[in-house]
Structure formats: structure tokens, C-alpha cells
Amino acid sequence: MNAHISQKQLAEQHLLEATKEFQKCMQCGKCRSVCPVFKEFGNELFVARGKNKIAQKLVSGDLQITKRVEQAINECLNCKTCSANCPAGVKPENVVLRMRWYITTQRGLHFFKALIFRQLLWRKWPITLGCAIVGIAQKVLFGIGPKNPVRHLFPLFGFSKRRNFPQLAIRSAQSMLPEVSPAKNGPRKARIGYFTGCAGNLIYTNVAKSVVDILTGYGYEVVIPKAQKCNGTPVLANGDYEGAKRLMVHNFELFQKYDLDAIVVACSSCGMSLKKEIKVFIDDSPELQEFTSKVFDINEFIEKNLEIKPEQLSRLPYKVTYHDPCHMVRGQGIKDQPRNLLKMIPGVEFTEMKNADTCCGSAGSYCITHYDTSIKINNHKIKDIQEANVNMVATGCPTCVMHIADNLAQHNSHEKTRFVVELLADSMRAAGTI
């Protein structure tokens, strides 16, 4: 591993990798017809072809890093829609990420970002404690209804006043659940590591509980290494290559110690990063190949390995549609598995919504830094959900859930937002299976 690489070498490496990517661009303009961000702005500067050209000019020295350059480079959801549709096989999100990392080598990391990515996420306990305090405040002192005056404090923390927040965990999933949960109902089939992700640990703890209950109920031993940290997605997306690398190396080394047969995740971005993005940060080796080949999204793992019999599921009276998270459908190629699981549940009436695989605009921290645009993009999603005539949207990504639920509430729309794995667990619990 390039432990002592200088900033200059790092900068050159980023420029080289970006060049390899953008020089494949034929400039045909097809990305203009698919990019969700371009659809809102209508300015070539914010579409993949324009960003490729800006990157090319930065590399050639014909353009310096300016505010407008940073704005162009930061207006990207990493939704991979342009990649999936590019006739020349360009992956523009890789140009964007490399340029963000390059800009950091030239401009340094913003103080707040450095504090969050290199101190708080790394130490972990301040984040867990912070969530618990906010969680208690949410429960005890005030609700977060639209008329609550506390909303006026949101901008202090970089959040829009309009935003609706999910309840944060007073007790994190990692503190509630044991490090090792033994297999139930017969002999152990395999030993599974569970990477909870920050959202599964600190917000959607019911998802974490559902994962553990389902897997142990079907004969798997589940290990949640307590020293696991953020997978690095928000860190790398915000320009901090080195911070992301430190987290990736940490998790890679940690999970190797547990002698696991597989590693499951219930977050689309965590899954994509542990399967794929990690290869950008850690040099290829047999150990890395073994590690990445062991990682499965929970939907993928359950659909492939669990023999779920009809009598093990109880009826759930929901009309459901499914939203494809970008990092699931394009990031990992997982499209049918979650749908198959939903259709398996008796009573669930499944309707495919229009444009199920278009980005919902949340894009992790993009919806914090670019809230207005992210809501405009999400408005298309809300329309498609409403037209599907359902009472529930199921998906497999925490930030999609958060963003869609927020905007549904702003539209006074009645649809609930849930994870597929939660619904499956509900159905199994009601049937007494787990």
C-alpha cells in the first residue's frame, strides 16, 4: 500500500486516472438526455460531457480551480446514470471523484470536513453520543413537526428549515445487539459478518435488528464487529481521499480477523463501496479479492441463500412499489432480488412504478449541501410514487428512505417508506418464523 505517498504524487495520480477516463468521451451529448442534475439546470457545465471538458482543461493547465469549477465538479449525484447510458463506456463519476480529490490536494480539506471525516467519524463515539443526545431531544423536548420553532436552528447545522428528520437512535444498533448472535433453529450454516453502516447503527436500527433476526432465524451466526467504522462513502464523495482510505483499510483489516464466510450490508452505498470502490483505495491482492467476493447486499444474500417457505411468511396488507437506489441497481447490478422478496410476501400487492431506477436526488450528503436541487429532483420521484397508487415505497438505501420520506411529508402524501428487509422481517415475525 502506498503509505507514504506525497501530496504531489497523489495529485498526479488523480489527474492521470481522470485523464484515462475523460479521454474516452466522444462528446456525443447523450448524457444530456439522462442526467438528473442537468435536467434541473439545463446548463452544459453541469452534465458529464461538460465536466469531462472542465477536467481536461484543469489537467492541461488551461484552467485553474475556481469557485465555478468547484461548483461544476460538486454538482454530481454519483448516480451513474450517465455511465450506464454512455456509448463510449466513460464513467464520468470517476472523473468527478478524482477531480474532487485533486482539488483537495491543491486547496486542502475544509476545516469542518476534516473535523467530521478525520476526527469524529474516525473516533466514532462523538457521533454516537451526538445522535443519542439529538435522539433524546427529538423524543422528550420537542417533535419535529413543520411548525416547530426549533426548525429555525437547522440552518446553523447546515440543514434546510423545510427538512423532516428521521428519529435518531438513543441506543445504537451496535450497543443493542451482541457482537455475536448465535444461529437459531438448528445447526449453524455459516458465519456472517454484518456491516451495519452508520445509518443502520444510528438511525434505522430496526433494519439492523431485522437483518440479525432473519439471518439467525434461518441458521446463520451473525457477527457485528464492534470496532467497525464508516465505510468511507461520504468521505470520498466530499473530496477526502486519504480519510476514506484510512477508513477502508481499517474495515478491511478488521473484518479479516473474524473468519467470516460472508459479509452482508443493508445499505446500497456501503455495499457498493465494500465490493467495488475499495479497490481504488487498497492495492489488489488475493486477500482483497477474497474480501470483496464475500460482500453481499442483504436482499441479494437472502434471495440467493435462504429457503423461505410460504408458511414461514405471514400476510402483510400493503400496496407496495420499489425504488431502485442508484448504488444498488447501477452500483451493484441488483434489480430483481428485492422485488422478488417483496412479491414473496403474501398480501403484498406489488406495483412497478414508472422510472423506478431514476435517482431520488438524495445522493448521501448532496441533499445536505444542495438541498433545493435535491428536492427538485425528488419531486419527479414523488410524482411517480403517487401515480403508482400504493401505500408504501420499499427500497434498500437509508439516504433514499430519508429523502423520499422527507419530501412525501412535504407533499402531505400518505405513502410510508420502508426497507424491504424490514417488511420481510415483519412478515416472518408475525408468522412466528423468527
Residue partners of 173: CB distance under 8 A and separation at least 6: 196, 200, 201, 202, 205, 208, 209, 224
Least distance CB 35 / another protein (angstroms): 11
Least distance CB 349 / another protein (angstroms): 28
Residue among 8, 61, 87, 304 that touches another protein (CB under 8 A): 87
Residue among 1, 6, 16, 68 that touches another protein (CB under 8 A): 68
Contact between 355 and another protein by CB under 8 A: the answer reads no
| Per rule CB under 8 A, count of chain residues that contact another protein | 25
Which is nearer to another protein, 87 or 286 (by Cβ)? 87
d(CA 339, CA 424): 11
Q: Answer whether 30's CB lies under 8 Å from 87's CB.
A: yes
What letters, b where the CB count within 10 A reaches 16 and e where it falls short, cover 198-215?
bbbbbbbbbbbbbbbbbb
Which is nearer to another protein, 72 or 375 (by Cβ)? 72
Binding residues for another protein restricted to 89-148, rule: CB under 8 A: 89
Mark the segment that binds another protein (CB under 8 A) among 68-76, 126-134, 280-288, 315-323. 68-76
Residue partners of 190: CB distance under 8 A and separation at least 6: 220, 221, 261, 262
Least distance CB 61 / another protein (angstroms): 14
Least distance CB 25 / another protein (angstroms): 9
Residue among 15, 18, 48, 72 that touches another protein (CB under 8 A): 72
Helices 7-22 + 48-60 axis angle, to 10: 130
Q: Which residue, 71, 73, 117, 60, is CA-closest to 99?
A: 73
Least distance CB 45 / another protein (angstroms): 4
Least distance CB 72 / another protein (angstroms): 6
Which is nearer to another protein, 38 or 220 (by Cβ)? 38
Residue among 1, 5, 16, 26 that touches another protein (CB under 8 A): 26
Cα of 82 vs its chain's centroid, Å: 18
Q: Measured in Å, how far apart are the chain's first and last C-alpha atoms?
A: 43
Q: Residue 92, class by beta-carbon neighbours within 10 Å (0-12 exposed, 13-18 middle, 19+ buried)? A: buried
Least distance CB 60 / another protein (angstroms): 11
Residue partners of 19: CB distance under 8 A and separation at least 6: 55, 56, 59
In Å, how far are 67, 120, 164, 278 from 114, measured between CA atoms?
20, 9, 26, 20
Least distance CB 23 / another protein (angstroms): 5
Binding residues for another protein restricted to 212-271, rule: CB under 8 A: none
Which is nearer to another protein, 42 or 310 (by Cβ)? 42
Which is nearer to another protein, 65 or 288 (by Cβ)? 65
Residue among 5, 24, 153, 387 that touches another protein (CB under 8 A): 24
d(CA 413, CA 418): 15
Which is nearer to another protein, 31 or 393 (by Cβ)? 31
Which is nearer to another protein, 26 or 153 (by Cβ)? 26
Cα of 178 vs its chain's centroid, Å: 24
Residue among 5, 16, 88, 227 that touches another protein (CB under 8 A): 88
Residue among 11, 13, 23, 314 that touches another protein (CB under 8 A): 23
* Positions of E strands within 133-199: 180-181, 190-195
One-letter amino acid for residue 330 of the chain: R
Q: Answer whether 371's CB lies under 8 Å from 160's CB.
A: yes
Q: Is 416 helix (H, G, I), strand (E, B) or coil?
A: strand
Q: How does DSSP classify residue 357? A: T
Least distance CB 12 / another protein (angstroms): 17
Residue among 18, 37, 69, 192 that touches another protein (CB under 8 A): 69
Binding residues for another protein restricted to 27-66, rule: CB under 8 A: 27-30, 32-33, 42-45, 50, 53-54, 57, 63, 66
Least distance CB 175 / another protein (angstroms): 48
Least distance CB 353 / another protein (angstroms): 18
Question: Which residues of the chain form contacts with another protein (CB under 8 A)?
Answer: 23-24, 26-30, 32-33, 42-45, 50, 53-54, 57, 63, 66, 68-69, 72, 87-89
